[in-house]
Amino acid sequence: MTVHPRLSMNQATIKHAPLDEALRLTREAGYESIGLWREPVQAVGLESAARRLADSGLRVSSLCRGGFFTLPEGSERRAALDENRRAIDETATLAAAGAPGSAAVLVLVAGGIPGGTTDLAGSRARVADALAELAPDAAAAGVTLAIEPLHPMYASDRAVVSTLKQALDLAEPFDAATVGVVVDTFHLWWDPEVFEQIARAGASGRIASYQVCDWATPLPADVLLARHYPGDGVIDFAEFTTAVESAGYTGDIEVELFNEAIWATPWPEVVARTASSFDAVVAPALSAVSA
Amino acid sequence: MTVHPRLSMNQATIKHAPLDEALRLTREAGYESIGLWREPVQAVGLESAARRLADSGLRVSSLCRGGFFTLPEGSERRAALDENRRAIDETATLAAAGAPGSAAVLVLVAGGIPGGTTDLAGSRARVADALAELAPDAAAAGVTLAIEPLHPMYASDRAVVSTLKQALDLAEPFDAATVGVVVDTFHLWWDPEVFEQIARAGASGRIASYQVCDWATPLPADVLLARHYPGDGVIDFAEFTTAVESAGYTGDIEVELFNEAIWATPWPEVVARTASSFDAVVAPALSAVSA
């Protein structure tokens, strides 16, 4: 089995594996990088997780996730912002413990429209407010806040940031090292302006993460679990990956799959299949130099 | 029961009602307008349907639907284009038979990515080609082809036209009387640029239809059946309707609901509930003059 040196196993793809197992499976399969999630990290404690990551020899490509800060002012909003500050600290600690080339990138999912309201515009404004409040903390910690635009089918209950253009508009007031964006094929493939916006993101140095997974229909009953291995759906990964390469992104590339059938598959199979699907449809578009 | 004079009952909302029943229920409830679908029209024959529409005294606000022309050149594409030509003729016949103020508007759903391919860009180009081919037929018949951008969650299997901006870009090469757009709240509510694009559509006289229904989560297992009565979800109908009014649209406003629970409700209840939900959240944003 070959594993492309830029491929990173996002931990959500083997969601039910505890941290130790995830690190071991990823490393033993030949990966150099892993994308971590807060919950399994917290399950063993941050210091212990950082030590285990260091022992694994893997890079960390991102930590998922902060955000969910669309509520109006009040104690719940304060709690959400404090939670983001903890996530910033965790990101810095893990990136320092990972192998050289690790990225101090915290993925942010904005949050949805507060229940019982139709306040989309206000929710979007509160995302901008939250970034302004958190940016100094991120800068002090050397962490990049990476705004992830989610597919518009999640706009009401999960992320009011729906396009790459919108994410870049939100990021623009801040230093590129402090606020960037996530480019995720599953969320963005349909957007007629996505390639133009990827070029814009590259020009301003704001691509903090590139994630690849595929879109296929029919969608499952729970649309959160609709992601497929690259190559199993309708996305043209050659075109997308070439655009991200041309925009100057040289970092790790994560495969993040939320999918019940994949979660029910033995982890070593998932790790192997992730690498082979990446090799088949993503790797050919990557320049030999960057590999 | 009051029925706003600009409210039109889209026939899909009472999907299982035959044409005669749909016309009778709509008229007796006090509506002035109905949006028709090709299948129930064809079930009684076009000439007969036109006569029944004339007898009802109702306006027709649109015919659903043409489109589905993303296939590459070949016999299937030719058949699809011929089917669209028949739909253009049906639209003209029905609009001539409807009460004064009827609209000769054919709603177009573009079609998805051809099976087994990742050819999104080619599919979109073929939509432009199809419009160029059909525009002379539509112009000759006095029919407006109304491109409907569908929610991006349908981009792979139903409509590669996903934003109002994209629909307007497709429409721009043609006379506004020949190629326009549908503004449907359900499909467009999430778009950060939608109000700017509604203004653009109004300025160029291209709003051929305004359709209102609501978005709520969780989505049903079949995401095609996710539409709700206005007011039952997250969409701000005052803001949306004001934008469409300000753009100069003065035509009928359809309520088109694909929803298993609504389809299972007795038709007179659906017709009444449609009118009351329209009165509650859409009508207040309409100017007294235009009513």
Residue contact A192–B156, C-beta within 8 A: no
Closest residue to B236, CB basis, from A120, A216, A234: A120
Mean pLDDT of A210-230: 95
CA distance B200 to A36: 44
Q: Does B217 touch chain A (CB under 8 A)?
A: yes
On whether the B7-285 domain is CATH 1.10.10.10, my answer is: no
Residue contact B120–A155, C-beta within 8 A: no
Residue B290's pLDDT is what? 47
CA distance A58 to A79: 32
User: What does DSSP assign to residue B157?
Assistant: T
Q: Does A195 touch chain B (CB under 8 A)?
A: no
**pLDDT tens digits, residue range A21-72?**
999 999 999 999 999 999 999 999 999 999 999 999 999 999 999 999 999 9
Asked if the model's pLDDT at residue A263 lies above 80, the reply is yes
Residue B287's pLDDT is what? 81
Residue A2's pLDDT is what? 87
Between the alpha carbon of residue A4 and those of residues A30, A33, A242, the distances in Å are 9, 10, 16
Q: Does A287 touch chain B (CB under 8 A)?
A: no
Give the type of residue at A141: A
State the residue for tokens 């129930």.
Answer: B40
| B72, B46 contact by CB (below 8 A) | no
Residue B1's pLDDT is what? 74
* Chain-centroid distance, C-alpha B287: 22
| A223, A196 contact by CB (below 8 A) | no
User: Cβ contacts of residue B86 below 8 Å, gap of 6+?
Assistant: none
Q: Which residue of B has its CA nearest to A124?
A: B192
User: Cβ contacts of residue A202 below 8 Å, gap of 6+?
Assistant: A244, A246, A247, A248, A249
State the residue for tokens 């800060």.
Answer: A69
ipTM of the complex: 0.95
CA distance A153 to A220: 13
The SS3 call for residue B200 is: helix
**pLDDT tens digits, residue range B235-280?**
999 999 999 999 999 999 999 999 999 999 999 999 999 999 999 9
| B70, B125 contact by CB (below 8 A) | no
Best probe of the B interface among A117, A118, A151, A172, by most B CBs < 10 A, is A118
> What top-level class would CATH report for the domain A30-210+235-255?
alpha beta
Residue contact B190–A162, C-beta within 8 A: yes
Residue contact B221–A216, C-beta within 8 A: no
Mean pLDDT of A1-14: 95
Residue contact B120–A217, C-beta within 8 A: no
In the structure, what pLDDT confidence band is assigned to residue A289 with cuts at 50, 70 and 90?
Answer: low
For residue A237, which of A269, A211, A275, A200 has the smallest C-alpha distance?
Answer: A211
Asked if the model's pLDDT at residue A130 lies above 60, the reply is yes
| A146, A85 contact by CB (below 8 A) | no
| B103, B208 contact by CB (below 8 A) | yes
CA distance B208 to A37: 48
Domain residue extents for chain A = 30-210+235-255
State the residue for tokens 């729970």.
Answer: A222
Tokens of A48: 């212990």
Asked if the model's pLDDT at residue A291 lies above 80, the reply is no
* Chain-centroid distance, C-alpha A273: 20
User: Cβ contacts of residue B108 below 8 Å, gap of 6+?
Assistant: B65, B66, B67, B84, B145, B146, B147, B148
Q: Count of A–B CB contacts within 8 Å?
A: 83
| A47, A90 contact by CB (below 8 A) | no
Give the type of residue at B205: G
Q: Please return the burial class of A203, using the count of CB atoms within 10 Å of its CB with bins 0-12, 13-18 and 19+.
A: exposed
**pLDDT tens digits, residue range A195-205?**
999 999 999 99
Q: Does A120 touch chain B (CB under 8 A)?
A: yes
Between the alpha carbon of residue A9 and those of residues A61, A97, A273, B73, B238, the distances in Å are 9, 17, 11, 41, 45
CA distance A221 to A215: 15
Angle, in degrees to the nearest 10, between helices A237-246 and A194-203? 30
Long-range contact list for B266-271, CB < 8 A, 24+ apart?
B267/B14, B267/B17, B267/B21, B267/B25, B268/B25, B268/B29, B270/B13, B270/B14, B271/B9, B271/B14, B271/B25, B271/B26, B271/B29, B271/B31
B116: alpha, beta or left? (left if phi > 0; alpha if psi -120 to 50): left
Residue contact B120–A189, C-beta within 8 A: yes
Tokens of B235: 């969409």
Q: Measured between CA atoms, how close is B243 to chain A, in angstroms?
A: 14
Taking the CB of residue B4, how many other CB atoms lie within 10 A of it? 18
CA distance B178 to B148: 14
Query: Which residues of chain B register pLDDT less than 50?
Result: 290-291
CA distance B145 to B182: 9
Query: Which residues of chain A neighbour B235 with C-beta distances below 8 Å?
Result: 118
Half-sphere exposure of A59 (CA within 13 A, CB side): 20
**pLDDT tens digits, residue range B253-264?**
999 999 999 999
Which B-chain residues 146-185 have CB contacts (< 8 A) with chain A?
Answer: 151-153, 155-157, 162-163, 165-166
User: Both ends of chain B: CA-CA distance in Å?
Assistant: 17
| A272, A29 contact by CB (below 8 A) | yes
Q: Does A217 touch chain B (CB under 8 A)?
A: yes
- 3-class SS letters over A100-150: CCCCCEEEEECECCCCCCCCHHHHHHHHHHHHHHHHHHHHHHCCEEEECCC
- Average pLDDT, whole number, for chain A? 97
Q: Does B117 touch chain A (CB under 8 A)?
A: yes
Residue A283's pLDDT is what? 97
**pLDDT tens digits, residue range A157-209?**
999 999 999 999 999 999 999 999 999 999 999 999 999 999 999 999 999 99
